Structure 1
Amino acid sequence: MAPGRELEMLQKQLQDELDKLKNVQKDYQKALANRQQLDSQLNENKIVKDELDILEDDGKVFKLMGPVLVKQDVEEAKQNVGKRIEYISSELKRIEDSIKDLDKKQDTHRESLSKLQQKFQQAQMKQMTK
C-alpha cells in the first residue's frame, strides 16, 4: 500500500473513532444529567415520606391537581409515595448501570484512539524517511 494512502486511511479511522468517542461522551453527559434529576426527585419523595410518617392518623393530606388541592387519604398518599420511591430507585439503578457501560465504552474508544494515533505517527515517520 502506498504510504500516502495508508495515512489517508489511518486519518479516516482516527476521525471515525473520535466521532464515536464524542457520541459516547454526549450519551454519558445525558445519563449524568438524568441521574442528577432522579437523585433530586428521590430526595424530594423521601422528604415527603418522612413528613407522612410523622403525620397523625387523623391528619389531612392534600394533593395538588392542576390549580386545585384535593383531599387524599393518608394511607393512599403513603402508598403512592412509596411506589414513586421504588420506581425512582429502580430508574436510578438502570441509569447507574448505563453510566458504567458508557464509562467502559469511553475507555475502549480512548484506547483505540491512542493506538491509531501511534500508527498514524509511525506512518508519518515512514513517509518522511522515504
Structure 2
Amino acid sequence: MPGSNSEGNLFRTWAHEVSSTDEIARTSYQFQRIFPSQLLSNSELDLLDAANTIFKLIGPVLVKQDLEEAKSTVAKRLEYISGEIKRYEGQMKELEKKSEQHREPLGKLQQDFQKAQGKVPIKV
C-alpha cells in the first residue's frame, strides 16, 4: 500500500504524543494535589511568632527549626510547585495543539483503512 510507511510514522508520532500527554497530566495532577497542603502549611506558619517552637521531621527524628527558616523553606517549595504546575500546563497546551494537527490526517487514515477492509475479497 503506497504511503503506508508515512501513515505508520504518523500513527507512532500520535501514539507517542498521547503517551506523553498522559504522563504530563499525571505529574501535573500530583503537583496540584500537593499544592493545597503546602499552602496550608504556609498559612499556619504565618500564625506563629518567634516565641513558638517549630520542629522539622528528618527521618524518625524531630529537629528544632528556626521559624524564618521554616517559612523560607515552605515559600520556596510553594514557588517550585507552582512553577512546575505552570510548566506542565504549558506542555499540555502544546501537546493539545499538536494533537489537533494530527486529528484530520488520522481521521483520513482511519477512513482509508476502513475502505481497504471493505475491498478485501472474502476467502472461502
TM-score interval (norm. to shorter): 0.7 to 0.9
- TM-score, scaled relative to structure 1: 0.80
Find the counterpart in structure 2 of residue 128 from structure 1: none
Percentage identity across aligned positions?
Answer: 40
Paired residues of 1:61 and 1:73 also in contact (CA < 8 A): yes
Where structure 1 has 5 or more consecutive residues not aligned to the other structure, the ranges are: 1-7, 126-130
2:69 maps to a residue whose letter is E
Separation in 2 of the partners of 1:55 and 1:99?
39
Separation in 1 of the partners of 2:82 and 2:17?
24
Find the counterpart in structure 1 of residue 121 from structure 2: none
- TM-score, scaled relative to structure 2: 0.83
What is the count of residue pairs matched by the alignment? 121
Separation in 2 of the partners of 1:80 and 1:104?
36
Paired residues of 1:14 and 1:117 also in contact (CA < 8 A): no
> Per the alignment, in what secondary structure is the counterpart of residue 58 of structure 1?
coil
Greater RCO between the two (CA within 8 Å, min separation 6)? 1
Where structure 2 has 5 or more consecutive residues not aligned to the other structure, the ranges are: 119-124
Q: Is 1:24 the equivalent of 2:7?
A: no
Shift of 1:44: 1.6
Find the counterpart in structure 2 of residue 99 from structure 1: 92
Find the counterpart in structure 2 of residue 42 from structure 1: 35
Give the superposed CA RMSD.
2.5
Separation in 2 of the partners of 1:32 and 1:39?
10
Q: Which shows bigger deviation, 54-63 or 25-34? A: 54-63
